[in-house]
Amino acid sequence: MKYSGWPEPSELVVGKVDEIEDFGVFVDLEEYEGKRGLCHISEVASGWIKNVRDHVNTGQTVVAKVLDVDESAQQIDLSIKDVNDHQRKEKIQEWKNEQKADNWMEIAFGEEVDDETYSSIANALLSEFGSLYDGFEAAAIHGEPALEDTDLDEDEIAAIVETARSNVSVPYVNVTGYVDLTCPDSTGVDVIKDALKAAEGNGEVPEEIELEVTYVGSPEYRIQVQAPDYKTAEGALEDSAARARSVVEAEGGTAQFHRDRTEDDE
């Protein structure tokens, strides 16, 4: 997707070196329709530059910082030297992600989707998530609820979710905790069984979370959670232990949550 507007000063942009002159480098901006910037020789690299071609080549993809924008003069001033390695790698990855998302848009709505429809859907995702890629990733993780606050209709949401879940590689994290469950009541075994079912969520764990409770050794049980991010995973882990504790303590038993295995089980 290429934006029709102008970049903002201080923004990082991806471009392709189109023309090299003794005084600087002309760069076609990959993210902006019909926009071209100039990187003066003093902004190509640090230190004294004898030959610009020692630092850049025609056709090379570069990341540059926008120094100034003069729309009336159709001029964009750029700096390549002001971008560090971390910023360069991060921006290139962001640009590649948006290229993927652009392809997913075609999968979801067809290669022949008209510009007006495409722009309407893309703007809805950009407004809510900041990027097309983040919108598709949220749809892959959370499904339709992730898009409820957008201006998209039901058919558009369904198409995005279906495409996202078939194409987006969702990052997951894993966390583990342990809970010791005891119940001196005569029905203690049944109480512990009910507590374990509660820990597993009784079938009501959110779709993006995988949760498993396994026996380690009396009275210890392992809770393993896989989720899209650490905040979600940690929350699910603590909620699981809390559900088990609620069941056990209601019957006069005890429950203790801890992050590491007990020494006897090492």
According to DSSP, the residues that pair with 77 across neighbouring strands are: 38, 68
Q: In terms of pTM, does the model score above 0.75? A: no
Into how many domains does the chain fold?
Answer: 3
CATH number of the domain at 50, please: 2.40.50.140
Instruction: Determine which helix (DSSP H) or strand (DSSP E) holds 106, and give its type and residue range.
Output: helix 85-109
CATH code assigned at 195? 3.30.70.1130
Residue 46 DSSP class? S
Q: Is residue 186 part of a domain?
A: yes
**158: Cβ contacts below 8 Å, ≥ 6 apart:** 144
**pLDDT tens, position by position, 2-58:** 777 899 999 999 999 999 999 999 999 999 989 999 999 999 999 889 899 999 999
Give 66's contacts (C-beta < 8 A, 6+ positions apart).
7, 8, 9, 10, 11, 12, 13, 37, 76, 77, 78
Question: Which tens digit of pLDDT belongs to each residue from 127-176?
Answer: 999 999 999 999 988 889 899 999 999 999 999 999 998 898 877 888 99
Is the bond leading into 171 cis (omega within 30 degrees of zero)? Answer: no
Question: Does residue 265 sit within a domain?
Answer: no
Domain containing 223: what range?
173-259
| Residue 202 sits in the same domain as residue 253 | yes
Residue 127 falls in which region: left (phi positive, over 0), alpha (psi -120 to 50) or beta: alpha
- Give me the torsion for CA of 202, 206, 207, 213, rounded to 10°: -50
Q: Does position 263 have pLDDT exceeding 60, yes or no?
A: no
119, 150, 167 - which closes a domain: 167
User: What is the C-alpha separation between 236 and 223, in angstroms, rounded?
Assistant: 10
